[in-house]
Amino acid sequence: MSMRYFGNCPAGEVHELTLSNGRGLEAKLLTLGAVIRSMNVWDEAGRKRDVVLGYDTAEEYFSGDSYFGAAVGRFCNRIAGAAFDLDGKHYELPANEGKNQLHGGPGGFSYQIWTPLPVSESEARLRLYSPDGDMGFPGNLSAEVTYRLTEDSLVIEYKAETDAPTVLNLTNHSYFNLAGHASGSIGQHRLWLNADRYTPADEALIPTGEIRPVTGSLLDYTREKPLEEALAAAEFGRTHGLDHNFVLSGDVDVPAARLTEPDGRLSMEVYTDRPAVQVYTAGGLGPVSGKEGAVYEEHQGICLETQDFPDAVHHENFPSAVLRPGEAWHSRTVYRFQGISQIRRRRAKLLWV
Ligand code: BGC
C-alpha cells in the first residue's frame, strides 16, 4: 500500500492510499470519509477502467452531498424526525434532510478524517473514533473499516464497539458505472437482485413499516433486466428512478446482487451479510464536476448500499440496529468483478457439472 498527500479541507489534511492486488485490480482510498476514490478493473482487452464516480479534490469531497465512495455512519439512510428513543432515553440528532437525518447527519462519518493503518500491498485499515454525542448519537464508538483486494474482489469489512447503548448502520456509498466512471447513463446496465421484498416508503423516503413482495411490480429484479425501465418510470418520479430498500434473502454465500454493463463484458456481484440493500440510481445527482474533467449527471452511476433497514430505530418489525457495550459489531460486503471470459468459463463449468 502506498500513501500520498491528497489535499486539505476544513476537516484537515487528507491522504490517498493506493491498494493493488498485482493482477490488475487497483483501488484508491481517502482518509477523508474512508472514501473509495477509484476502483480500477481490467476489461477484456486488458485495459484498465475506473468503475466508480469521484471528485478530484478533498474540498469537493468535503463540501459535496453525493457521498461518492464514502463510508457512511453512524446511521446510513434515514432516521425519521432526526430523533429516537433507546432504553427509555430520548436522543435528538441534527437534521440534514428536512426534519429527518440522512446518512449520519451533516458531520457524519463521511465528513471526518479516518486514521490509516497500512496492512499490506492489497489491504488497508482505517479507524475512526466517534465520541459520545457525535452527531447526537450516544456512546463512545470505535469504528474500523478494512478494504482488501483479493484476486477478483474488493472486500469491505466494518467493525465497531461502543461503551454505551447506541444505534449503528454502516454502508459504503460507491456509485458504480461498469462501463467506466465517465461513460454516461447506466440505463443499459442490467441488474439482478436476490430480493423478493422491499420496504415501501413515504414521500420523504421514510419506510412505512410494511414489508411488501416485489412480485408483479417494477421492483421485481429477481429476473435480470436493464435499468432503463425504472429510470423512466412515472411511478418513480419522486426519486427519478430507483431509491429503494430491498430485503435480501439472507444467504451470505450467494450473490445479493449482480450488475452487468451494456456490452456484457464486465459484471459485478455483491455478496453481503447485511439484511438489505439500498439501490439508488442517482436520480438526484448533478450536474457536477467529477474526476478528470468528467461531468456527472443523473443516472450516471448506481449505488448498491448494503445496510440494515432504514429508520430501523422506529420499527419493531425490522431487524434491530442497536449496538450494546460488550458486543462486537461486524459486517462484510464483497464486490466481485468478472470479465466476460471468467463469466463464460464459469457458465461452461456449470454446464459440464
Ligand atoms: C439515498 C438517496 C440520496 C443519496 C445521496 C442514497 O443512499 O437513498 O435518497 O439522495 O443517498 O445522498
Kindly report, residue by residue over 144-175, the tens digit of the pLDDT.
999 999 999 999 999 999 999 999 999 999 99
Average pLDDT on 124-134 reads 98
The rounded distance, in Å, linking the Cα atoms of 188 and 256 is 20
Is residue 253 pLDDT above 60, yes or no?
Answer: yes
Q: Which residue has the cell 454502508?
A: 171
Task: Report the CATH number at residue 197.
Answer: 2.70.98.10
Provide the pLDDT for residue 264.
83
Catalytic (active site) residue 305: yes
d(CA 6, CA 31): 9
Active-site residue, from 16, 26, 305, 315: 305
Please give the average per-residue pLDDT across 287-309, as a whole number. Answer: 97
Domain that holds residue 66: 2-352
| pLDDT for 345 beyond 90 | no
Distance (angstroms) between ligand 1 centre and the Cα of 47 equals 31
Mutation probe of ligand 1 site: the residue of 279, 280, 299, 303 with most atoms within 8 A of C-beta? 280
Q: Which residue has the cell 420496504?
A: 199
Split at pLDDT 50, 70, 90, the class of 349 is low
218 C-alpha to ligand 1 centroid (Å): 20
pLDDT of res. 286? 86
- For residue 212, the SS3 value is strand
When pLDDT is cut at 50, 70 and 90, the band that residue 339 belongs to is confident
pTM for this entry: 0.95
Span 90-104, pLDDT tens digits: 999 999 999 999 999
The percent of residues in the chain predicted with pLDDT above 90, rounded, is 90
pLDDT band at 351 (very low <50, low <70, confident <90, very high): low
Report CA(25)–ligand 1 centroid distance (Å).
Answer: 27
Structural domains in the chain (count):
1
pLDDT above 50 for 353: no
**Tens digit of each residue's pLDDT (9 = 90 or more) over 207-251:** 999 999 999 999 999 999 999 999 999 999 999 999 999 999 989
Q: Which residue type sits at 301?
A: G
Annotated catalytic residue within 173, 181, 189, 299: 173
pLDDT above 70 for 269: yes
Residue that has been written with the C-alpha cell 466476460 in this structure:
340
